[in-house]
Chains A and B, each alone.
Chain A
Amino acid sequence: MRVLMLTWEYPPFIIGGLGMACYGLFRALSELGITVKMILPTKEEVYFEISKPEDADFPLAKRENGEPLRTEPLKFYPFFYSMPEESVYGSLSEMLSSISIFQRVERTQLKDIPDGVLERLRLILTQEDTLIQKVRSYSNNVLRLAEKISFDIIHAHDWLTYPAGLILRKATRKPLVCHLHATEFDRALGFGHPVIHEIEYLGLNLADVVITVSNYTKGLVLEHYKVPENKIRVVHNAFIAKSFSPKKIKKFKEPVVLFLGRLTPQKGPRIFLEIAKKVLEKGVKVRFVIAGAGEMERELMLEASSLGIGTHIIFTGFLNRDEVEFALSLADIVVMPSVSEPFGIVALEAMHFGCALIVSKQSGVSEVIENAYKVDFWDIDKMVSYIIELVKNPELLRTLQERVREEVKRFSWKKPAEEVKKIYQELLQS
């Protein structure tokens, strides 16, 4: 079985949790005998083949004819990376008109996508917005490549790749799976960019199957995008643990409570600040660390410092991968107060590093873990009391830290991969 994976992130090009989820899933799929052909937002016209688990760690860039690309560094252009250079693929409408050259696979059971949708996508993608331009370049790249490589199923991850998936679905009539790692409602906390909403709506409603990473996200999709429930499958993310559980590092004499994530409203850093304020006001000696960068950094720093709490709320700024692990190994408690979190892989990582956990109920991960305090994101007083309880009972803290280390070991990508494989089989049989 050959799956064409469309994704915007893959290690080492990671912005959020998407890249790590793709890595875990693709690797596990290859163990089940599935060949993954992945197209990333690269400037070069290449795809990556993962047919063995080892390939997942060092995927090889291949040209359309299957020849490996010379070993030169690739040029990526996700959000924060550079713009794609002048597209070599001509205009999108040119590409769309060439759709007829695809070998149409007649699968009568699969409904065709109406022509109007394609027209609408063309209109959306010609907008002069830098991000939309990147999506347009990516879609062009995918169409050009897909002509030349063989695959059975299209699997698109998040809205940036949905347009490419939809056009390809229309051109090839091969089944399309739209995987939802985060919705615009999560990112924007309410209504976001109308164009992104529309792309999400089209992708989710016209896909043959929708995979969400949690029941929480499934709920959002049902409520906001009115996708028929029988089309949605929930496949929770998992976590690839390192072979050993890292040792704790003691940097501060006082316990460390960590927030780890982008400083955006979605992740709830302001809630964390409120928690810190209340804990410190009660005279409990704790160091709060806010790790990550983002648009809210300055306002958070101004607010934190106006509390006059000296060095008890520390901002680290942007962290690279090693620094993330270092931060986790010196934290005693991790708080994930996300306002809307489709999954929240950071919680599983924190468990691996033996951190006691307080997670918001508005997260996917709270559906699958046991040894964590689960609190509504707005219930600041409750989170404060949990932190104080843990700080005042070192024995309890240690027990909890041991328990999470054990619990996280049972997570593996095997089960999610099997579920995804089953979805593929159903689609190919229909």
Chain B
Amino acid sequence: MIYIIFYFQVHQPYRVSRYSFFDIGSTKSYFDEELNRYIFNKVSERCYLPTNNLFRELILASDGRFKISYSITGTFLEQARTYRPEVFESFQELIKTGGVELIAETYYHSLASIFDIEEFLEQVSEHISAMEQYFGYSPTVFRNTELIYFDKLSDVLLNFPQIKTILIEGADRILMGESPLYPRFSYNHVHLLLLKHYKLSDDIAFRFSDRSWPEYPLTAEKYVKWICDLGLMEKEGRNLYLGLFMDYETFGEHQWRESGIFEFIKKVIELLLEVPFVRFIFPSEALRTLNYTPKGLSVPTPTSWADTERDLSAWLSNPLQWNAMKTTFELLQKAKEKNRTDLIPIIKKLTTSDHFYYMCIKYFQDGDVHKYFSPYDLPENAYKYFMNILADIEEKLED
């Protein structure tokens, strides 16, 4: 049996303003309200609303056999409720169908797991509370920001006994030639690790409309054949778990409507529903459908799903990023000590990983994906605006 686990990341950061040195001490807002509203509305039109509709129809039409999972960040939910309540309601509707599993993560989509474990636990709690409050859902599966995972994380998650399963990147460097289709146990054998099949995931997320890709154009029939062929290598009847993990914005935003992405995914799902040895499941269902004992997997250094390195380098590969992130968590610590409830939520929004992603310079010369996502012209400027904001907060903390 091939079990398909669709997982989508739904996230929007609070992008910061072009906060100059001379704005320090002024009343200028840290966050670019206008830009955030504009982007949220744009992506809502292109992706969230049409994709939610499509998936809702597919779930209803399949009689519950089509299943998907989401992690929806706190910063996304806050913006949805402020800028576009109908998007928020559309997710509520979708979840009511019963075909959706919600996954826990850090509320602020941060790298707190790397810098500040206390804060990490706090942000996970905040996120679990939000899932319960808004959707009446208690997650039992966890995914860390951008699929960041390392052995220690499994220990830390013992603080949440309800969490049984973790989604991680099927990075070559940890699998060492083994297939990502077989779930693994964490090094301490506490959590089941579901691995992203990055080849088949990225075929949709990154390569679908790439005309220089030899497989272009990717048809639903071809893609479904690739999935069905996965079973050929399994001779002992072990169940396979295909993790198709991607940004939700793949549909309609990264891959435009004109590329045919919506027709493609609809067709893929309809075809897969007809294959007798393929089934869709929730991530939490993997544990009970296993017909063998998974092997352990050790991940001593962090992996993630970002960039070709699949490590932390998208957010922490240069001193600008390190200094900015380190200072953010230091200020957060200070604000907590002083019980500055006015500043704590603001600093937490600054822990969002995207801010540091914009400061990445490793590919900037090539105008890579970092640039595509960045609202600022240069990583240096992203750093300047961010640090000016931190300087302003630092001054306020002394008041």
Contacts and interface: CB of A to CB of B under 8 A. Distances in A.
Interface of A: 251-253, 287, 289, 291, 297-298, 301-303, 305-311, 314-317, 323, 326-327
A393 B361 CA distance: 42
Contact of B22 (A302, A303, A315, A323): A323
A253 B396 CA distance: 10
Given A253-B398, A308-B326, A316-B20, A301 B381 contact: no
B319 A306 contact: yes
A297 B24 contact: no
B323 A308 contact: yes
Given A253-B398, A310-B390, 11 more contacts: A253-B395, A297-B380, A298-B380, A301-B383, A302-B320, A314-B21, A314-B387, A315-B384, A316-B21, A316-B22, A327-B21
A316 to B, nearest CB: 4
A305 B384 contact: no
Contacts of A287: 391
Interface in B344-366: 361
Question: Main SS of chain A's interface residues?
Answer: mixed
A197 B109 CA distance: 56
Contacts of B247: none
A310 B380 contact: no
B360 to A, nearest CB: 12
Contacts of A323: 22
Contacts of A252: 24-25, 391, 395
Nearest to B379: A298
A301 B383 CA distance: 9
Most buried by B among A297, A315, A327: A315
A303 B380 CA distance: 13
A314 B322 contact: no
Contacts of B323: 305-310
A326 B24 CA distance: 12
Contact of B327 (A297, A303, A310, A326): A310
B324 A305 contact: yes
Contacts of A327: 21
Interface of B: 20-22, 24-25, 318-320, 322-324, 326-327, 330, 361, 380-381, 383-384, 387-388, 390-391, 394-395, 398
A305 B320 CA distance: 5
B102 to A, nearest CB: 37
Contacts of B22: 316, 323, 326
Contacts of B327: 310-311
A302 B390 contact: no
Contacts of B319: 302-303, 305-306
B395 A310 contact: no
Nearest to A250: B25
Most buried by A among B25, B323, B381, B394: B323
Nearest to A326: B22
Contacts of A306: 319, 322-323
Contacts of A314: 21, 387-388, 391
A327 B390 CA distance: 19
Contacts of B387: 311, 314-315
Give the most central of B327, B330, B390: most A CB within 10 Å. B327
Given A310-B327, A323-B22, A317 B384 contact: yes
Nearest to A251: B25
A301 B380 CA distance: 8
A310 B326 contact: yes
Contacts of A309: 323
Given A289-B21, A298-B361, A317 B381 contact: yes
Nearest to A298: B380
B394 A305 contact: no
B335 to A, nearest CB: 14
